[in-house]
């Protein structure tokens, strides 16, 4: 898929700011999968308006990752040093603010429905990130809280992306919102599975870091539900710890023997099927869903 026009639009937004540091830091950001821009193109087809909406959403996404890496104290992003590691947390916070406010400036001259959909999603994703931080204070055993948090943190912006693509191309808005919401929740579940199944080289960031950061993701919640009291206690004793190899091996063994990974993957697949039902006439979207579920990083 040709995303060069979206990239050029983002580049244009950045250059119009006329700031050497911003330009320099932007060039150091590794390119991601641009899932949100792809969705716009697949749903709304090629149009200048689609490029602009995609550029705005990708800039908001970039700003949220810049802030997230400060919050998570992440040294790498997509296999490259993060901006907080390369420059400082202050730089990452401010660059995030610059991207975020520029994106909102551009959004302010768009159709009101598009502006409202995206801006309310950004409030949701910020509340989701706060919830993620707060849930990490203690071992979260509640799957419902996890689903709510990942909907807010990740799926809300994907839901808004699909919604806006439907608005600008006169397609069924409710169908595409449901599509985006399910795709987004499935996406984050897969992300959380990969953290415990893949190695650092494949992921482009340290593996097995969620649990150490206090993030009791779906595989951990399910494993916890399914083990006996003694193992529950042991699992909780490892919470937020720098894990030794034998401790990681114990967790991996339990994640497999309780079918916690299998259950989580199944859950993501069910959500992907829900998403597919709303996108059944769009071959590109169906293959994107398939690729998302079966990805390795
Ligand atoms: C990545 O999650 C983080 C998000 C999807 C959302 C982050 C949102 C904010 C920081 C709110 C601020 C928003 C703006 C627009 C300034 P993760 O840590 O689970 O994934 P990772 O492993 O890729 O870091
Ligand atoms: Mg993070």
3-state secondary structure the chain: CCCHHHHHHHHHHHHCCCCHHHHHHHHHCCCCCCHHHHHHHHHHCCCHHHHHHHHHHHHHHHHHHHHHHHHCCCCEECCEECHHHHCCHHHHHHHHHHHHHHHHHHHCCCCHHHHHHHHHHHHHHHHHHHHHHHHCCCCCCCHHHHHHHHHHHHHHHHHHHHHHHHHHCCCCHHHHHHHHHHHHHHHHHHHHHHHHHCCHHHHCCCCCCCCCCCCCCHHHHHHHHHCCHHHHHHHHHHCCCCCCHHHHHHHHHHHHHCCHHHHHHHHHHHHHHHHHHCCCCCHHHHHHHHHHHCCCC
Measured from the CB, is residue 126 less than 6 Å from ligand 1?
yes
Judged by its nearest atom, the ligand closest to the C-alpha of residue 64 is: 1
Q: Which of 98-112, 141-155, 278-292 has the lowest mean pLDDT?
A: 278-292
Measured from the CB, is residue 100 less than 6 Å from ligand 1?
yes
Of the pLDDT bands very low, low, confident and very high (cuts 50, 70, 90), residue 31 is confident
Mean pLDDT of 111-136: 98
Q: Which CATH number fits domain 1-109: 3.30.70.1380, 3.10.20.600, 1.10.600.10, 3.40.50.1950?
A: 1.10.600.10
The pLDDT value recorded for residue 206 is: 84
pLDDT at 269 over 90: yes
Measured from the CB, is residue 159 less than 6 Å from ligand 1?
no
The pLDDT value recorded for residue 205 is: 85
The pLDDT value recorded for residue 266 is: 98
Judged by its nearest atom, the ligand closest to the C-alpha of residue 215 is: 1
- Cα(86)–Cα(75) distance, rounded to whole angstroms? 8
66 CA distance to ligand 1 middle (Å): 8
**Protein residue with its CA nearest to atom 17 in ligand 1:** 68
Of the pLDDT bands very low, low, confident and very high (cuts 50, 70, 90), residue 297 is confident
The pLDDT value recorded for residue 281 is: 84
Quick check: do 1-109 and 111-297 share a fold?
A: yes
The pLDDT value recorded for residue 186 is: 98
Choosing from 56, 68, 192 the residue with most ligand 1 atoms within 8 A of its CB, the one to mutate for a pocket test is 68
**Protein residue with its CA nearest to atom 2 in ligand 1:** 68
**Cβ within 8 Å of residue 275, ≥6 positions away:** 178, 179, 180, 182, 183, 186, 289
**pLDDT digits over 164-207, tens only?**
999 999 999 999 999 999 999 999 999 999 999 999 989 988 88
Of the pLDDT bands very low, low, confident and very high (cuts 50, 70, 90), residue 12 is very high
Mean pLDDT of 215-230: 98
pLDDT at 32 over 90: no
**Spans of all domains in the chain:** 1-109, 111-297
Measured from the CB, is residue 125 less than 6 Å from ligand 1?
yes
Measured from the CB, is residue 57 less than 6 Å from ligand 1?
no
The pLDDT value recorded for residue 5 is: 95
The pLDDT value recorded for residue 149 is: 98
pTM score, two decimals? 0.96
105-143 core/surface letters (b: 16 or more CB in 10 A; e: else) = ebbeebeeebbebbbebbebbeebbebbeebbeebbeee
156 CA distance to ligand 2 middle (Å): 16
pLDDT at 30 over 90: no
Mean pLDDT of 91-108: 98
User: Which superfamily does CATH assign the domain made up of 111-297 to?
Assistant: Farnesyl Diphosphate Synthase (1.10.600.10)
Task: State the chain's mean pLDDT as an integer.
Answer: 96
Q: Report whether 211 contacts 243 (CB < 8 A).
A: yes
9 CA distance to ligand 2 middle (Å): 26
pLDDT at 273 over 90: yes
Any idea which residue has 């398939």 for tokens? 290
Measured from the CB, is residue 140 less than 6 Å from ligand 1?
no
11 CA distance to ligand 2 middle (Å): 25
Measured from the CB, is residue 35 less than 6 Å from ligand 1?
no
The pLDDT value recorded for residue 1 is: 80
């Amino acid at each position: 898929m040709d995303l060069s026009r979206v990239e050029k639009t983002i580049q244009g937004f950045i250059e119009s700011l006329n700031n050497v540091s911003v330009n320099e830091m932007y060039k150091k950001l590794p390119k991601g999968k641009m899932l949100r821009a792809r969705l716009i193109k697949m749903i709304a087809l090629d149009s200048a308006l689609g490029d602009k909406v995609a550029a705005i959403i990708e800039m908001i996404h970039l700003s949220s990752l810049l802030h997230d890496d400060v919050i998570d104290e992440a040294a790498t992003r997509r296999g490259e040093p993060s901006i907080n590691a390369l420059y400082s947390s202050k730089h990452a916070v401010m660059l995030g603010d610059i991207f975020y406010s520029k994106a909102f400036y551009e959004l302010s001259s768009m159709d009101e429905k598009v502006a409202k959909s995206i801006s309310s999603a950004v409030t949701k994703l910020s509340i989701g990130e706060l919830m993620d931080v707060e849930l990490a204070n203690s071992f979260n055993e509640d799957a419902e809280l996890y689903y709510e948090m990942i909907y807010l943190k990740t799926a809300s912006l994907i839901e808004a992306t699909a919604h806006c693509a439907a608005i600008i191309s006169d397609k069924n808005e409710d169908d595409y919102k449901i599509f985006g919401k399910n795709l987004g929740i499935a996406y984050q579940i897969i992300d959380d599975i990969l953290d415990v199944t893949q190695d650092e080289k494949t992921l482009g960031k340290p593996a097995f870091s969620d649990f150490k950061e206090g993030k009791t993701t779906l595989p951990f919640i399910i494993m916890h539900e399914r083990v006996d009291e003694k193992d529950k206690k042991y699992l909780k004793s490892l919470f937020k710890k720098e894990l030794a190899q034998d401790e990681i091996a114990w967790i991996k063994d339990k994640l497999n023997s309780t079918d916690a990974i299998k259950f989580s993957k199944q859950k993501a697949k069910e959500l992907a099927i829900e998403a597919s039902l709303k996108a059944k006439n769009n071959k590109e979207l169906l293959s994107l869903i398939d690729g998302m579920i079966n990805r390795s990083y």
